[in-house]
Every structure is written in structure tokens, then in C-alpha cells.
Structure 1
Amino acid sequence: FVNLERRFLMKKYLYFFSFILLIFSSLLGQTVNINDGSTNTLLQIVDEGSAGSLKLPNVGTTIDDIKLYNNGGNLYWGLNQIGFAGSAGGWTHNGTSIYNTTLTDKVGIGVNNPTRPLSFNNQYGDKISIWGPNSFGNILGFGNQPALFQMYTDGSHADIAFGYGQSSSFNENMRIKGNGKVGIGTTNPLSILTINSQNNWGSSVGDGWGDFSINDGTNGLAIGVATAGGGTGDIRFWAKGGTERIMFGNVTNGDVLTSKDGNIGIGTINPSTKLDVAGQIKITGGSPGTGKVLTSDTDGLATWEENQIGFHANLKADITLASNTETQLTNFTEIFDDGNGFNPTTGVYTIVADGLYHFDIKVRWDILSGSVSDAPVFITFYKNNTFIERFFHRVTLNSYNQAHVIGYNIKLQTDDQISIKVQYVSSSSLNVDYGNGTIVHTYFSGFKVY
């Protein structure tokens, strides 16, 4: 009985192991399915030859099946590699940086076929925000509009600066203010364009040529402002190379003003003198007038002067002379006064222009009573109330009169004053005779020779 029981147990074990071997033999090279108790497969273990994979069937008709499998030591979820801390889907994280593992790969944002290392979609608008976690406010970013690349801040209070170095130790070269003003060499431009340079005053060509320069390294224009030394504040324009002409003009009239070889040309681009004018000159300052000429003084200062300067005046009434006393001739009637230099009341002539002058004086002596014989008389020229020249004569008077005519030349300057005084030495009383209203006996005249 015991042997029969043992024999029965051995037969059961044999059947069990045969069943197990049959199951494993049936699974070899096949797929193991885990179902939900019906025909719905929840998980599959798939034979991949020398390897296996774990497959999750799709949850709907539009989603493909996904496999979890090992390929070359990398774990993939479908066609995508599952990344860990050091590597993820073509990206590498080394602890401080994240970068594209394959340097030739391209990154697309909003586009699945990037053509550049970093590509965006073709929609207009904001693309990159450097600062600002929210949609509005505190934005520094880049964007685009049709045929326009934009770099912007969120308001007129913020600026954009260009320079070198790094953010914490930035060396600024140029700044665009939020209000539209541009500063080069300054962080606070006061106008639409403000350039703050460091005394680039020299006239060489090339690097550092002027505070503002347009040149090709050989020929060009420069503008400089002196910021130090005795010429501080001086502004210089200069040309270098070629003809070295600086020309000003417009489309309608062409070149109006030209500077070349130290000469200035107006209406000509090749001035041959310090001032070369092709055309007429008009000077409105300095009291111009018909017939006046431009005359230079000893310092080269030019003023408008009368071209014809002269006067003639007749004595208006007799003048009674006191013996041994000089008496100035006054009270004249003007015949003409070109230049308006003569005062008929005082008898003083004021010089209106520097030059050589000629004066004529005629004096007729008349005795009131009795007679005089060989009496001395004097005619004296005064300049600025100072004696300059005296002429001496002797007269004999009884029943007739006697006259003397004197001419005198002298160089004078503007505003000098000329007056005439007469004197006689006698106990008798004498007159300077003016005439009778028709015949002139005493007169004073003069004119500018040159």
C-alpha cells in the first residue's frame, strides 16, 4: 500500500513538472500578455530576440503603442530616449550647464524642422524674454514684425546699452534711451545724438580720428571738440586726403562755400586768395550809403567812408576883433557839406574818414575908423583845440580893405577837429569882413585828398 501511495505521488509530480515545462516551452519566442480578466491586454512582455521589451498598449485609437526597452545601454520610451540627470534626449547636463549633446543638431521652438542652431516659428511677435516672469511688466526681450527685428524694454524708463565685458563689470560704449535719445561715450545723452569723446583733436587719419569721423582710413571728414588746454571748447572741422576741400551747398545752388588750402571761396570751389568771391558783395553793417567806399584803418578794420568828402562855408556876419586877442571864426553859412563834417555855428570841421585833407581860408580885414600901417595879423589852424600851424601877415588899412588866402594840407584821423582863429596887433579896431551878401569876403573850405 505504501509503495502504491509513493508510486501515485511520483506520478503527480511528474505531471506537474511536465505541465510547467510545457508552459515555458510554449512561452519561448512568444509574448506574455497580462489581461484584465477578459480580452483587454494591459501589459505585454515581448521577445525581441536576444532582448526583451515592455509594451503598454494604446489607450485609444489615435495613440500608437509605446514600448519601454533597452537599446545599447540606453532606455527608450517609444522612439525617444529616456534621459536622466546627465543625459536626456540629445541634451547633456553636466551639473552646471545644459547643452545639446550633438553639436550639429538644431533646436526648434514652435517649429519641428529648425534650419539654424536655434529657430523660431514664422509667427510675428515676442520671441525671447530675458527678464520678467510674467506676461506684462519688467520685460527685456527680442521680437519681430514684418521686415523688422526688435530689441525692446517694457517702457520709456528703461534703456538698452552696448559694450563689452560682462553684466557685473560692463564697459559701456553706446546707450539707447527709452525716450529715443542715443549716447555714444555717455550714459545720459542730452539730445537725439550725443557723442562724448576724449579730446580726439588731431588731424591724422584712421583710428581715433576726430570725435565724429567719416573716412576710409585715407580720405575723410572729421569733427573734433577740444576738451582740455587753452583751446577748451574749440570746435574743428577738417578734411584729410585728396583735394582736402570742405564744401557747403544745396541741390538748387550747388557748392556755395568752399574751404581749400587755407582760402575761402564763395561761389567758387577753387579759391586762390584768402577770400575769393565769384559774384557781387553786399555789406549791410557799418552805415553804408550811396557813393561810400570801404576804407581800412591802420589795424585793417574797414568801414564805410564817403567817397567825396568836402565842405565850403561863408562867414555870415562881420566879426569885430579885440587887439592882441585870438578870436575863433564862427557863424557860417554852409554852401555844401559832403560827409556832414562841418558845424556852421561853431565853425568846427570834424573829420569823417582817415586821410590827407586840404583846407582853404580867406580872411578880409577891414578897419572901422582911422588907419593902420603895417599891422601884424595872424591866421592859425587848431587841431582838437591845439595849435598846429600859424600864418603871419602885415596889413595897411585906411580907405580900403585887404584880404589873405591860405591853403594848408594835413593828414588827419576820423573824429579829429579843425578850427580857425585870427588875431591882430594894433591899437585900432579891426573887423573880419563877411561881405555884402553878394560878394563873399571871408570863407572856410576843405576836402579829403585821399
Structure 2
Amino acid sequence: MKNIFYFLLLLTYAPSYAQVKIGSNPTIFTPNTNLEVEATNGSKVVIEQSEGKVGIGTSSLDAKLNVAGDIKIVDGTQGTGKVLTSDANGIASWRTPPACVSVNLVTQTAPITYTTNYTNFIQIPGMSIPLLANKTYKIIYMGLRKFSTGNGPLALYLKYGNDTATETTFLNGNFYFQTIQDYGPMQQFSPHYMGVNKEFPSVEMASDGTSYIQPQLGLYQSFIGYIQTKTDGNLRILGTNSKVNYILNIHTYYGAERPITLFNGYLVAIELAD
């Protein structure tokens, strides 16, 4: 009898660290509403039945799963710098985030002068980057160009493929892209004249005849594009005049032969992750 009494005393003395409550109020039991497991330190695991919501460390159920605190998911694919990524079926695993694989940059090694109204291509010195097959690249080009005398547009082309192929060939992955300084809102004229909505400016900066500016460095010519390669090859920048009527060239140059100098250019090829 004495042993049984001591046993009951021990049960009465033992501390209680957690309690299970059924009900919408932690102190009132209302069956079939929710289930709450609460420890003496205030941490909670709450399961809301009617909408199927779960709260861990919080009783605020404003989402299907609301976690207040750290989260640890270990499935064998975890690693430093990885992000949790879902597949088409919603199954998530740790993966390395997409990023650029490599960046190649080359700069123009010397100024080059093109003569407008000719149909030949000339490669810009130093502007060549080898590209690998079955890759996606972001291409960025920027350079300065300036007229020595006269006026005229300059067309620039990307060429990718076999170096021995002619620049008029579009086969084997050759890709052309161009920008043209047209006779639009702004136009550079000989030798350092700029016109705003004025085709033949006669002063340094012609708008309404009262604004002046002297662009000593020339004008920027640039483009940004993407290319998907099928074979190994060299990406090159070539220049010609707008007299060459390829698919991307919708411009007719009516002027005489004029020299255009291109300088301080750079070409970037950024390989993108699959």
C-alpha cells in the first residue's frame, strides 16, 4: 500500500512539458475544429482541419503552411548556394541556380575606316571570339564612329560560322545583326555636326538654329542580341555600308563615297546556363 502511495506522489510531482488541445481556443475544448500541440515554452504546432492549414511555431494560419523559424530540408541534394527548385509536377529538390557560365570580352585593337557606298565587308581589328557548339550566348557590342568628311550610315554585322565562308552566306549557323545610323531624329554630319530633325545641319548642333554642341569623340553605335550555336565557330564583327541589301538591311544610301572611322569598340559574348 505504501509503495502505491509513493508511486502516485511521483506521478503528481512529474512536470508536464506539452499538452494536446482540440478546439479553436487553447483553453476551451471544441472537438472536430482544430488540433493544437503547445509546449510550455510557447512553441506551437497547429493543424486547422476545415481548410487543411498547418502552422509551426505560430498559430497564425494565413497560408497552407506557415513556419515561424528556421527551415531545414535534407534530401541528399542539398549543398552550399543551392536553391529549392520545383519540377513540372511540383516535386522540389536542391539545385544550383542558373548563372552565366563564362564571359569573353575583346576590345578593338586599332581604329578602322570604312568607305561608304562600297559592298565589301571589313572585319574590325581584334573583334573575334570563339564560340562553342550547342550553346546560347548574349552578345553585346559598343563602339564609337565618326565621319571624316561628308555623311552616311554605317551597317555593322555579326558573323558566326566558318571563317572561310563568304559573308553573304547564311548557312551553317551564320547569324547577322545590324544597326544603322539613319536620317531620323538625330544625324551626324561632316565633320562634327549634329542635327535634330534636320537632315543637313550646318552648325555644330542644329535644332532651331540656337542650340550648339561639338561631339569631339564621335557617336556610339551598339547592339545587344542572342545567338544559339549549332557548331563551333568564331563570332566576328564586320562593317560595310548600307548599299548592301541583305535581309536585315532596309535602307538605301544615296550619298557619295565617304570615309567613316570606327574606334574604341568592345565585343562581349556571355555564355548562358542551360
Q: Taking structure 1 as the reference length, what is the TM-score of the superposition?
A: 0.23
Name whichever structure is richer in strand by fraction: 1
Larger radius of gyration: 1
Bigger RCO (CA 8 Å, 6+ sep): 2
